[in-house]
Amino acid sequence: MKVLRSICALGMGVVLSFGSRQVVAAPADAPRVAFINPGYGDRGFWKDVSDTMHVAARQFGFQIVEFDSDRQWPLMAQNANRVFAMDPPPDYIIASNEHQQGARIVIEANARHIPIFMLLNDLTVDQKKRVGQPGTNLPYWIATLTPDNKKAGFDLARSLVLADEKLHADQPGRDICLLSLAGDWNTPASLDRLEGLDVALAKYPQLVEKRRLIANWSYDEAYKRTASLLPEGCLDAVWAASDDIARGAIAAIEDAGKVAGKDVVVGGVNWSAEGLKLVKEGKMTMTHGGHFLAGAWIMVMVNDFRNGVDVQGRGPDYAFSMQAITGDNVDRFEEKFGQRDWNKIDFSKFGLTGKSDQNATYHFDLEHLFAAIKH
C-alpha cells in the first residue's frame, strides 16, 4: 500500500518515482513539510491539490513529505502516526479535517511544537469548543485556509435552475425534480456545500428536492444512486458535490437513454479535466472550484510564515472564493491552463513576504492566477 510519495532528498534535481507520479526532490537540508493527504495521490481532486502544492514547494525551496490516505479515515489516522514518528520531525505539517480527524492531529502537533496549517477543511465549531483555537491554547496551529463552499453549493443549485428555465422557457415556474448527491455527512466542505444548497432551495421554491443521498465522492456510487432514482420518472436536475459524482450521474442518465444537459441538467465541483470537458460539451452547467489550488496557496502561507510574516496574527482563519467555470469562460481557462501546467505560475506573486504594507492581503483567485503567468 502506497502511503508515502516523497522521501528525504539526495540532492538538488534528484527525481524520485512513486507509482505513477514523479517528484523532483529538494536539497537534503530543505525545510520539510509533512502533508497528510486524505485522498489519493495518483488521481482525483486531492491529486490536483498535491500537484499544485509540489510546484509551489519547489519554487519556495521546500520538500514535501506526503502520505496518501486513499479516502480511508483509518489509513489517515495511521499516516498521522507516521508523521509524528518521523525522525527528525518535520518542520511543518499540513493536514485537513476530512472525516473530522483533524482535531487529534492539531493537538499532537502542538504537543510536539510543530507548526501546523489546516487545509480546505477547518475544525468544526464543536471540535474547536473541545480542543481550542489557533493562537490561544494552540499556539502552533498557525492558520487555516478554506474555500467558500457555501457559495459553491448555492451557485451550483442556481445554475441548475437557470439551465432548466432556459430549456423550458415555455413553462415558467415549473417544478424541477432534483436529486442531490452529497460527498459525505461528516466533512466540513461537504456540509458547507449542502448548507449553500439549502439556501438555494429556500430561494428557488421551484427546485423540489426528491432525494438527498451521499455518494462518498465516488463515480460508482453516484452512478448507482442516480440509476436507482431514474425509474421513478421524475428527475430534471442533479446537484453533485464533485465532478466525479457528476460524471457518475451523467453516465447513469445516458445509460437510461436520456441526454445530460437537455433531459437532465447536472452541475459539479472541482475544475477537473473531465468536468471541463463535460462543460464544453454542454452536459454540465458548470464545474465550480479552483480550490485544489489551495495546495499552492498553503505553501505561499508556509513560506510567508517562515520569512517572518505574522500569518497567525493576520488570520488565523483565511477564506478564498471558489469560482465557476461555465460555457462562457471554459475556453479562456483551457487556453491558459488546459495542460494543467502549474509550473508556468510564479507563486511568489501571491505572497506577503517583503511587502511593507501591513494591511496587504492574499488574493487567491482566478484573475490573479492569470496575472501570475510567467512570461
Q: What is the pLDDT of residues 91-144, one digit of tens each?
A: 999 999 988 889 999 999 999 999 999 999 999 999 999 999 998 899 999 999
Of 47, 341, 333, 81, which is closest to residue 217 (Cα–Cα)? Answer: 47
Q: Is the peptide bond before 27 cis (omega within 30 degrees of 0)?
A: no
Residue 25: the pLDDT is 56
Q: How far apart are CA 105 and CA 84, in angstroms?
A: 9
Residue 22: the pLDDT is 34
**Do 343 and 372 contact (CB within 8 A), yes or no?**
no
Of 111, 114, 109, which is closest to residue 123 (Cα–Cα)? Answer: 109
First-last CA distance in the chain: 41
Query: Which CATH entry fits the domain spanning 149-269: 3.40.190.10, 3.40.50.720, 3.40.50.2300, 3.40.50.2000?
Result: 3.40.50.2300
Query: Which CATH entry fits the domain spanning 15-147+291-371: 3.40.50.720, 3.40.50.2300, 3.50.50.60, 3.30.70.2970?
Result: 3.40.50.2300
**Do 39 and 47 contact (CB within 8 A), yes or no?**
yes
**Phi and psi, residue 213, nearest 5°:** -130, 160
The domain spans of the chain are 15-147+291-371, 149-269
Q: How far apart are CA 185 and CA 195, in angstroms?
A: 12
Residue 26: the pLDDT is 65
CB atoms < 10 A from the CB of 194, how many?
19
> Which residue ranges in the chain fall short of pLDDT 70?
1-26
Residue 375: the pLDDT is 80
Number of separate helices (H) and strands (E) present in the chain: 13, 14
Of 107, 118, 38, which is closest to residue 78 (Cα–Cα)? Answer: 38
pTM (2 d.p.): 0.84
Residue 244: the pLDDT is 96
Asked if 15-147+291-371 and 149-269 have one fold, the answer is yes
Residue 100, judged by CB atoms within 10 A of its CB (0-12, 13-18, 19+), counts as middle
Q: What is the pLDDT of residues 200-251, one digit of tens each?
A: 999 999 999 999 999 999 999 999 999 999 988 799 999 999 999 999 999 9
Grid coordinates of 308: 517572518
